Amino acid sequence: AQSVTQLDSQVPVFEEAPVELRCNYSSSVSVYLFWYVQYPNQGLQLLLKYLSGSTLVKGINGFEAEFNKSQTSFHLRKPSVHISDTAEYFCAVSPPNQAGTALIFGKGTTLSVSS
Amino acid sequence: ETGVTQTPRHLVMGMTNKKSLKCEQHLGHNAMYWYKQSAKKPLELMFVYNFKEQTENNSVPSRFSPECPNSSHLFLHLHTLQPEDSALYLCASSQPGQGAEEQYFGPGTRLTVT
């Protein structure tokens, strides 16, 4: 079985500062990895995903994440955040090649960007 | 309409009421999901449908009853709910068999049980 741990429940940061949201996963098989963002009163939107290949994955809105197999981590980073990045961020995993398998989500990290 | 839509967006119901949540996807996907999102807890998978067949029921109480009449529509019928069922209910869809199954989410229905 897979599980996801998001190490920080809340991350406050000032505008234009860099940010890292941490995610660790546990799995006995290879997995696909995802980061989703949820803005207030909205559903989840995919930021980026890791399937295979290059361990550095670039997503929308200037975010990127690095897959580290030895540390079973998939941390999300952005070099300079904006007020509009304030949202809830979810890390998720799924086993590959299993049709219709639901994602397993972490508890989420609230990113609060202030001026 | 594009993507995944959910209606209603907000719902307040008493414990003796019967109501239904509706989800519609316009993406041509064949897998649909119901998730429950409560405060301070991870998203909880409730049900999965693949090609209109229920393939997963994550130990959900029988007061929640899903229905998938076709690959584009998914319902969640509610009856005799409890206050602890108040949450955001999210619908998602994906296309099985295309590698990583990125799931597309609707905006959710905010349910309050009084």
- pLDDT tens digits, B3-62: 999 999 999 999 888 999 999 999 999 899 999 999 878 888 999 998 888 888 888 999
pLDDT, residue A44, reads 92
pLDDT at A39 over 80: yes
Report d(CA A108, CA B68) in Å as an integer: 29
Contact B71, B63 (CB under 8 A): no
Tally of CB atoms within 10 A around A77 = 15
- How close is the nearest chain B Cα to the Cα of A42, in Å? 5
Beta bridge partners of B87: B111
Question: Which of B35, B100, B103 is nearest residue A96 as measured by Cβ atoms?
Answer: B100
Q: What is the mean pLDDT of residues B69-95?
A: 94
Q: Which of B30, B35, B107 sits opposite A42 (nearest CB)?
A: B107
Does residue B97 or residue A65 have the better pLDDT?
Answer: A65
For residues B44 and B68, give the distance between their C-alpha atoms in angstroms, rounded to a whole number.
19
**A95: contact with B, CB 8 A cutoff:** no
Q: What percent of chain A has pLDDT over 70?
A: 95
pLDDT of residue A41: 80
Q: Which residue of B has its CA nearest to A110?
A: B40
**Which helix (H) or strand (E) element contains residue B111?**
strand B109-113
The model's confidence at residue A104, banded by pLDDT at 50, 70 and 90, is: confident
The H helix count followed by the E strand count for chain B is 0, 11
Per residue in A67-92, pLDDT (tens digit) is 999 999 999 999 999 999 999 999 99
B97 pLDDT tier (thresholds 50, 70, 90) = low
Separation in Å, CA of B16 to nearest CA in chain A: 27
Residue A100 has a pLDDT of 58
Q: Which residue out of A23, A44, A52 would a mutagenesis test of the B interface target, given it has the greatest number of B Cβ atoms within 10 Å? A: A44
The size of the A-B interface in CB pairs under 8 A is 68
CB B23 within 8 A of CB B107: no
pLDDT at A98 over 70: no
Asked whether residue B100 carries a pLDDT value surpassing 60, the answer given is no
Residue A51's pLDDT band (cuts 50, 70, 90): confident
pLDDT at res. A103: 84
- Classify the phi-psi angles of A31: left when phi > 0, otherwise alpha if psi is within -120 to 50, otherwise beta: beta
- Residues A103 and A32: their CA atoms lie apart, in Å, by 9
Q: Residue B25 corresponds to which tokens in the numbers above?
A: 């996807």
Q: Is A88 on the interface with B (CB under 8 A)?
A: no
For residue B99, which residues of chain A lie inside 8 Å, CB to CB? 51, 96-97
B105 touches chain A (CB under 8 A): yes
Local confidence band at A21 (pLDDT 50, 70, 90 cut-offs): very high
Determine, for residues B100 and A51 on separate chains, whether the beta-carbon distance falls below 8 Å.
Answer: yes
Mean pLDDT of chain A: 91
